[in-house]
Structure 1
Amino acid sequence: MKAIFIVSDTFRKDHLGAYGNTWIRTPNLDGLAAMSNVFDNYYIGSFPTLPNRRDMHLGLTDVPGRLPLNPWRGVDAGEITLAERLYDNRVHTMMVNDVANSCLQSRNMPGKVGFMNLHKGFEFFIGNRGQEADNVYSKSCVPLEFPVEPHLIRYPAEGWHRVLMNRSSWQVEEDFFAPKTFKIASEWLEHNYKRDNFLLWVETFDPHEPWDPPQWYIDMYDPGYTGRIFEAPTYGKYKEMGITARELKQLRARYAAECTMVDFAVGRLLTTLERLSMLDEVAIFFTTDHGTYMGYDGDNDLICKPYEVGADGMAMSGGGPMKKPSRKFAQFTGVTNIPLFIHMPGQKKGKRIGQIAQPWDIKPTVLDLFGLKCPPELIGGSLLPVIEGKKKATRSAAICGAPQSHFQAMTADWAYTVWPFDEIKPMLIDRKNDKSQSKNVASKNPGVCQKLHKEIVSFVKAQKHADEKFLKALGA
């Protein structure tokens, strides 16, 4: 078996033509979807970046002392990753990764260097360093310049200066992160296409901010703009940050441009597979860790992905003092419902799949793909029987959240959020009838709330070794 797993960070599902977008150019990913199994109800699990990677590489494991959702931390020495399982069974594993805070650096702020070890177990690994404020280049000659007021940039001044230093030598498209990462992956395929058994894991931080693709991609969506540039904005409510409608259009154009840049980078990999006559013999996965907010209807005026917002509308301010959060938000569809394509070897025609799936199904699925049994301690299951039509839906709701903050139960019709450690009333959003996702209808639908709350409690109870404090906080 030969498999390629692609992760593109912070990629909104509704920015792909395969999921209905009509204005953003993603021809390569749409072409891949057309010959893949496309999951319409794939939701985030543990949130955000690092917890999601733990979901995929480690799964949710029912072992003593663990949290019911994965936390923000690296991989410990005793934790067994997907790559280790494969390597122990004679599968060659290669990771190409430019995500600074998963394998290369513990935080995206300077002074917090430390490896998170999510590449643990891969036989081969290449890190394309320099994303965000990764401590790579020391170039004091690069001037510190701000495209907007410093308090409207999510990085502090030192971190923003590192962003500028890291990209100061870019000249051609292959210098940018996603294009370079997929170039490295394509070259690895050229050297290894005759291998019989391999997993190539390709991961890029794009289209996560900073949104700094080549100008020609931006010009596809908003040519001639001369105003303030928001490429790494503070997390919060754009109106309360003073972002105008015209500036919001440019902000959205920059994110769309990043999506298109990623698409063309993926296209290079697909072209390499075709040139090497490998398309009929390789399985290909494409997904993300979560979406993001762009101030669209349904985003509640939010930018990026805050779930705590201060009274001034700001949740993460790099250039000014942090604001104590006073309002907490559920995560809305733009963040929670994410893309997943699985192309099986030899597959020519695409298929839509409506069953609920989540990131902790990834490890069992890849193990199954290589003919390996799923360890009994893993929570989640292989998606191959679902693809083959041998398994019906086993989940009536997706459970997601951050373990020390909130739990959320998602169905096609409802999104129910509870903050077990805060004195905040539960939130219920009618996803079917409230497209703005702005009305809390919990008090009008107590039966729905009770049912979805039971889904969360059942999820935690199913993990026999989960910390008892969560059940107590949930009232179970």
Structure 2
Amino acid sequence: MKIKRIKRSGFLSSALVALSFLFTTQLAAQDSRPNFVYIIGDDISQEDFGCYGHPTIRTPNVDLLAATGMRFDNAYLSTSQCSPSRCSIITGRYPHNAGSPELYQYFGPEQVVFPELLKNAGYYTAQSGKWHLGKEPKRGFTFTKEKKTGAGGEDFWVQVLQERPKDKPFFMWFAAHDAHRGWNPDKDGKPHTREEVVVPPYLYDCPEMRDDLAKYYDEIQRFDRYIGLVVDELKKQGVYENTCIIVMADNARAFPRCKVRLYDSGLKTPFVVNWPAKVKGGQVCESLVSSIDVAPSLIEAAGLKSPVNFQGVSFEPLLKDPTTRTREFVFGEHNWHGHIGHERMVRKGDYVYIRNAHPELIQFHSSGRDDPGIPYFELANAGKLKPEQMDSILQPRPSEELFKLSNDPNQFANLAGNPEYSQVLKEMQAAMDEWQQRTGDTVPVLKDATPDKSDRITNAVLIKGARPKGDFDYPGKSTQANLINDPGPR
């Protein structure tokens, strides 16, 4: 009996050693999974970083991430509107499919959010800074710190990194309030001057515009500085090499022809990926990428399988070879943002097509047009505005627009009525028709749609509160688009 007991003891001891080795191996494998730091700015245009060619805005930290990582030149948002854009990113779905096509509409419990998948897979997930994703419980996050601290809301970022558990891979959702209107001076940085301002051709160049843009530049400078502090902390912790850092924005700057608009000046986002262990530095990717691609990309980079709910496609192959192609089309949408709107955009190759269901209406972002105090209607009546500077007061608008980007990067010359491009127009129309049909996109009848909050000319308040109260129609409501997973053409 003693001999058997000894053998049994030896067997158990060996088994425990084997199990311990297996557990340690699995833990080590888990620990080797990549970390993710996702950083999203507020109302920042692609061209407003040094790495994208801006000559004066001081963004040394993002520029360095681009120089040692990959810069994406054709990354598009699914919408250029605050909360719909963020809901789209976190669910990997178009706004009308996420149940959040309009401002202050948010995704529901039926939606899958990618941080939750990471959390369930053993990642430590934390959110700090601006949320703007509604009251839906932050089920994807182990820790949240939504409270705004500091002028730009970034003050907790480094602390959140420092206080994370060190035995788990991590995902951080760091969201800034910079550079949203309601400018806050950058007390720790050098202010930009009027002389340093580059006024885009579609904005009216005057002292008020230059002062407004300079304040906007200052907020980007602060945003960039906090990104540098995050990178420094990752290096101090020895985890920088295995951390995938993504820097982007939710929509373009809050100026005319930018925020809420579907031109490249509204939908193109800065998009920089820095991941020393996986991404060779100094690369530029010209392939199309959509903001709905973030969710499947990070999930698959973590070694997980994307759920059928995600309508985006992983851009991970581009990190290995930026010359490859993961999608043929990108789509964008503009819906209610204080005013009724229903516009759709598709880009394929060198062409952008925009469809407007309500060409009779002025389309603009109210604070972007009116906050600087520039009298656009008076200037237009006096003949002082160029055609491209009248976007925020244009009435009626074209019902269709077609642009060839290689000849017209600013998208000023509408080719929709040009017979030479009739075949291209038909192809783009067909792609749009298919996308709207397959994704369940609908156009609300004006009398049933969410009404305007303010007058489109005077901006006088018509309805108080974040959203008008009532059972209004919105894109995708009648088709239950929030339950449709078909991504349409990609």
TM-score by length of 2: 0.67
3-state secondary structure, aligned to 1:18: helix
Q: Which residue of 1 aligns with 2:401?
A: 427
How far does residue 70 in structure 1 lie from its aligned partner after superposition?
A: 4.2
Question: Are 1:305 and 2:259 matched, yes or no?
Answer: yes
* Larger Cα-atom Rg: 2
Cα distance, 1:362 vs. partner? 0.8
| Count of residues in correspondence between the two structures | 365
Listed as ranges, the gaps of 5+ residues in structure 1 are 104-114, 130-173, 226-236, 295-301, 308-330
Which residue pairs with 1:186 in the alignment? 158
Residues 46, 71 of structure 1: 8 Å contact kept = no
Q: 1:69 to 1:455 in 2, by over 3 A?
A: farther
C-alpha change, 1:306 and 1:191, in structure 2 (3 Å) is closer
Match of 1:379, SS? coil
Q: 1:451 aligns with which of 417, 421, 427?
A: 427
Quick one: distance in 1 between partners of 2:141 and 2:43?
A: 24
Whether the 8 Å contact between 1:40 and 1:353 is mirrored in structure 2 is yes
Distance 1:27 1:83 in 2: 29
For residues 258-273 of structure 1, the aligned pairs below 5 Å read: 258-273=219-234
Aligned counterpart for 2:251 among listed residues 257, 267, 290: 290
TM-superposed deviation, 1:467 = 5.6
Does the 8 Å contact 1:356/1:393 carry over to 2? yes
Specify which structure has the bigger relative contact order, considering alpha-carbon pairs within 8 angstroms and separated by 6 or more residues. 1
Give the residue type in structure 2 aligned to 1:49. C
Report the counterpart of residue 240 of structure 2 in structure 1: 279
| Residue number in structure 2 paired with 1:82 | 114
| Equivalent position to 1:18, from 42, 51, 62 | 51
Q: Distance in 1 between matches of 2:263 and 2:404?
A: 11
Partner of 1:106: none
Aligned residue runs from structure 1 range 20-419, under 5 A = 20-60=53-93, 66=97, 70-72=101-103, 73-99=105-131, 102-103=132-133, 115-117=134-136, 119-129=138-148, 175-178=150-153, 181=154, 183-192=155-164, 194-214=166-186, 217=189, 219-222=191-194, 245-292=206-253, 294=255, 302=256, 305=259, 307=261, 331-346=262-277, 347=279, 349-389=281-321, 392-402=324-334, 405-411=342-348, 413-419=350-356
Whole-angstrom CA distance in 1 between matches of 2:165 and 2:90:
24
Q: Where do 5+ consecutive residues of structure 2 fail to align?
A: 1-33, 336-340, 361-397, 445-474, 479-490
Once the two structures are TM-superposed, the CA of residue 438 in structure 1 deviates from its matched residue by 2.8
Structure 2 Cα separation of the partners of residues 333 and 278 of structure 1: 35
Per-residue CA shift, 1:364-384, capped at 9, x if unaligned? 011112111011232111111
Contact 2:244 2:275 in 1 (8 A): yes
Residue pair 1:412, 1:432 contacting (<8 A) in 2 also: no
**Does the CA-based 8 Å contact 1:8-1:205 persist in structure 2?**
yes
Identity of aligned residues (%): 20
- Aligned AA for 1:123? T
Instruction: Tell me the secondary structure at the aligned position of residue 428 of structure 2.
Output: helix
SS of equivalent residue, structure 2 residue 229 = helix
Contact persistence 1:398–1:409 (CA under 8 A): yes
> In structure 2, do the counterparts of structure 1 residues 306 and 75 end up closer, same or farther at CA, with 3 Å as the change threshold?
closer
Given that 1:41 and 1:357 are in contact with CA atoms closer than 8 Å, whether structure 2 keeps it comes out as yes
Q: CA deviation at 1:74?
A: 1.4
1:345 CA drift (Å): 4.4
Per the TM alignment, residue 458 of structure 1 is displaced from its structure 2 partner at its CA by: 2.8
For residue 291 of structure 1, give the secondary structure of its aligned residue in structure 2. coil
Matched residues in 2 for 1:176 and 1:390: separation?
A: 37
Question: What is the deviation of 1:388?
Answer: 1.8
- Superposition misfits of 4+ residues, deviation over 6 angstroms: 468-472
Shift of 1:248: 1.3
Structure 1 residues 348 and 279, CA, compared in 2 at 3 Å: closer, same or farther? farther
Asked whether the equivalents of residues 75 and 120 of structure 1 are also in contact (C-alpha less than 8 Å), the reply is no
CA contact (8 A) 1:282 1:345 kept: yes
CA shift for structure 1 position 218 = 6.2
Opposite residue 210 of structure 1, the aligned amino acid is G
Amino acid at match of 2:160: W
Post-superposition Cα deviations, 1:314-360, rounded to whole Å, max 9, x if no partner, equal xxxxxxxxxxxxxxxxx222211111112224246232111101011
The Cα of 1:196 is off from its aligned counterpart by: 2.6
Assess if the C-alpha contact under 8 Å between 1:218 and 1:254 holds in 2.
no
Amino acid at match of 2:411: Q
Alpha-carbon offset, residue 260 of structure 1: 0.8
Q: Deviations over 1:260-290 (max 9, x none)?
A: 1111111111111122222112111111112
| CA-CA distance at 1:426 after TM superposition | 0.7
Q: Which residue in 1 is equivalent to 2:40? A: 7
Give the Cα–Cα distance (whole angstroms) in 2 for the partners of residues 223 and 22 of structure 1.
12
Shift in CA distance, 224/278, structure 1 to aligned 2, threshold 3 Å: closer
Contact 1:279 1:345 in 2 (8 A): yes
Q: SS state of the match for residue 287, structure 1?
A: strand
Whole-angstrom distance in 2 between the partners of 1:189 and 1:343? 17
| 1:60–1:96 distance in 2 versus 1, CA, 3 Å | same
Amino acid at match of 1:416: Y
C-alpha separation in 2, matches of 1:92 and 1:194: 9
